[in-house]
């Protein structure tokens, strides 16, 4: 805990709107993300969960024409301030993607990729980092004899844990996970969920999930998004909005908003 800042919130999303070109995909989202907690984003497909998530580590900068209005505070500092370096942001706010995407390299090289980027050259240091990351990602026992094997040779669940190991190898502060289990079987999903429970003592985690059960199982806070429409026919525009945010317990037992209630009881979406 030593290196963590003194601000109680790791990430504070304040009233952001995200544009793709002239299309305003998400409007006015505000979410305070508590340190060392798991925050889940839920909502129907296309409501902008991924968009907001990718705004947090400025992955959207890579999409031509994408733009964020409002601010996201990271330990009190606006991520979109001009003096902020998006590359540095991504190092501290790591990301795990929906489809496991190991590099077409060996398992070792996959995990060592981040530390190498930072400039770690010493072979022994790299080895130790790789080992501790794989152990923490609960993959070590399965791959310790095959570190030279391609990351692509692993099963889907193992690949996703490899991606998590790869992310924590650079010791990020926040980990963003975009539907990390949607491509996995139930057993692998369970592995990942256990892993998240374990990682949260070290990291702040934000997870997008399609699966409400998963949100209930793993998260401390839940943000529920929905799609709004206006206009008809050709004039129709759609955008995502945050409907409700609160402790997971509260969202799923006493939703304040009728739409939330509909969604969690399966009457919607």
Partner 1 sequence: MTRIEEGVFRSMLIGRQDKGLTMRRLYAASFGLAILALVLLALTITNEAFGYVALVYKIEPETISDRPLAELNETELVALLVEKAPGQLPKMVSDALSPMDLQTFARASLKDSLAGKQIPAEYADKTPADIPTDERASVMGQILADNLTQEQILELIEAAILQPTVSESWPLFEGLFNRRAIEERLVELFPDEITRPELRFKSWLRLEMLTKPMDSNPLVSGVRTALLGTVYLLIIVVLTAFPVGIAAAIYLEEYADPNKWYNRLIETNIRNLAGVPSIIYGLLGLQLLVRFMGDPATGGLGLTSGQAFGIIDGTGRNIITAGLTLSLLVLPVVIINAQESIRAVPPSYRDASYGLGATKWQTIWRTVLPSALPGILTGIILSLSRAVGETAPLVVVGASTFIVQDPGLFTRFTALPIQIYNWTSRPQAGFRELAAAAIIILLVLLVAINTIAFVLRNQARRRLQV
Partner 2 sequence: MEQAIEGTSYSNERSRLLTEALGKRAERTDIGKRARPGERIILILLFAAGLLSIFTTAFIVIFLGTEAVGFFQSRAWIYAKMTVVDQAVPPVSLRSDAEGAVTSTDTSLLLDLGDQPRVPLIPGTLIQIGDEIMRVVERRERSIIVERGYDGTEAVAHEAGLPILALKEDTVKITEALGEEDVRIALPEDVADSFAVGDMIHLETETMRIAAIEGSSLVVERGLEDTPVRAYPANTVVQVERRPTLLTYLTGTRWQPQTGDFGVLPLVESTFMTTFIAILTALPVGLAAAIYLSEYATQRVRAILNPILEILVGVPTVVFGFFALQFVTIGVLRPLFGVDIYNTLSAGLVVGIMIVPTIASMSLDAMGSVPRGLREASYGLGATKLETIAKVVLPASLSGVVAAVILGISRAVGETMIVAIAAGAGPNWTFPPNFTVGAETMTGHIARISGGDLSYQSVDYSSIFSIGLTLFIITFLLTQVSTYITRRFREMYE
Ligand X SMILES: Nc1ncnc2c1ncn2[C@@H]1O[C@H](COP(=O)(O)OP(=O)(O)O)[C@@H](O)[C@H]1O
- Cα 92 to Cα 18, 144, 165, 197, 237, distances in angstroms: 21, 27, 15, 20, 35
Judged by beta carbon, residue 62 or residue 87, the one nearer Mg ion is 62
When the beta carbons of 19 and 140 are compared against partner 2, the nearer one is 140
Q: Say whether residue 227 binds partner 1 (CB under 8 A).
A: no
Site for Mg ion in 22-81 (CB under 5 A): 50
Q: Does 196 engage in binding with partner 2 (CB under 8 A)?
A: no
User: Cα separation of 75 and 79, whole Å?
Assistant: 10
Please report, in angstroms and rounded to a whole number, the separation of the first and last CA atoms in the chain: 40
In the complex, the smallest distance separating the C-beta of residue 150 from partner 1, rounded to whole angstroms, is 5
Q: Which residues in the 30-89 window bind partner 2 by CB under 8 A?
A: 74-75, 77, 79, 82-85, 87-89
The CA-based angle 167-168-172, given to 5 degrees, is: 95
Which secondary structure element, helix H or strand E, spans residue 30, and what is its range?
strand 23-34
Q: Which of 89, 90, 131, 86 is nearest to 111 (CA)?
A: 131
Residue 141 neighbours by CB distance under 10 Å: 9
If one asks whether residue 57 binds partner 1 (CB under 8 A), the answer comes out as yes
Q: Choosing among partner 2, partner 1, Mg ion, none, which partner's interface includes residue 50 (Cβ < 5 to 8 Å by kind)?
A: Mg ion
CA pair distance 39, 205, nearest whole angstrom? 6
Question: From the list partner 2, partner 1, ligand X, none, which binds 49 (C-beta under 5 to 8 Å, kind-based)?
Answer: ligand X
Which residues have CB under 8 Å from 103's CB, separation 6+?
A: 109, 110, 113, 151
- Count CB-CB contacts under 10 A for residue 249: 13
Contacts with ligand X, 49-68, as mask; x by CB under 6 A: xxx-----------x-----
92 binds, options ligand X, Mg ion, partner 1, none, Cβ within 5 to 8 A by partner type: partner 1
112 binds partner 1 (CB under 8 A): no
Residues 83-102, one symbol each (x = binds partner 1 by CB under 8 A, - = not), give: ----xx-xxx-xxxx-x-xx
Exposure b/e, 36-49, CB count within 10 A at least 16 = b: ebbbbbbbeeebbb
User: Where along the sequence are the contacts to partner 1 (CB under 8 A)?
Assistant: 57, 59, 62, 64, 87-88, 90-92, 94-97, 99, 101-105, 113-114, 116-118, 149-150, 152-153, 163, 166-167, 170
User: Where along the sequence are the contacts to partner 2 (CB under 8 A)?
Assistant: 3-5, 74-75, 77, 79, 82-85, 87-89, 92, 115, 118-122, 125, 128-129, 132-133, 135-136, 168-173, 198-199, 201-202
């Amino acid at each position: 805990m030593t290196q963590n800042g003194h601000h109680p919130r790791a990430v504070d999303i304040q009233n952001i709107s995200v544009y793709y070109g002239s299309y305003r995909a998400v409007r006015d989202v505000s979410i305070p993300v508590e340190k060392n907690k798991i925050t889940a984003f839920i909502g129907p497909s296309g409501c902008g969960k991924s968009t907001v998530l990718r705004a947090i580590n400025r992955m959207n900068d890579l999409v031509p024409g994408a733009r964020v209005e409002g601010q996201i505070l990271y330990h009190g500092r606006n991520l979109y301030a001009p003096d902020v370096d998006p590359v540095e942001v991504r190092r501290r706010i790591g990301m795990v993607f929906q489809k496991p995407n190991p590099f077409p390299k060996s398992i070792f090289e996959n995990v060592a990729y981040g530390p190498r980027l930072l400039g770690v050259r010493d072979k022994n240091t790299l080895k130790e980092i790789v080992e501790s990351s794989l152990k923490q990602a609960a993959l070590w026992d399965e791959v310790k004899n095959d570190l030279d094997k391609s990351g692509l040779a692993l099963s889907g669940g193992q690949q996703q844990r490899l991606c998590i190991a790869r992310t924590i190898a650079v010791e990020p502060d926040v980990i963003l996970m975009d539907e990390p289990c949607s491509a996995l079987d139930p057993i692998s999903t369970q592995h990942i969920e256990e892993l998240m429970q374990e990682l949260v003592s070290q990291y702040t985690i934000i997870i997008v999930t399609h699966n409400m059960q998963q949100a209930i199982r793993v998260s401390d806070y839940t943000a529920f998004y929905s799609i709004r429409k206006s206009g008809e026919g050709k004039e129709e525009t759609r955008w995502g909005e945050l409907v409700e945010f609160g402790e997971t317990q509260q969202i799923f037992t006493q939703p304040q908003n009728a739409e939330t209630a509909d969604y969690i009881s399966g009457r919607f979406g």
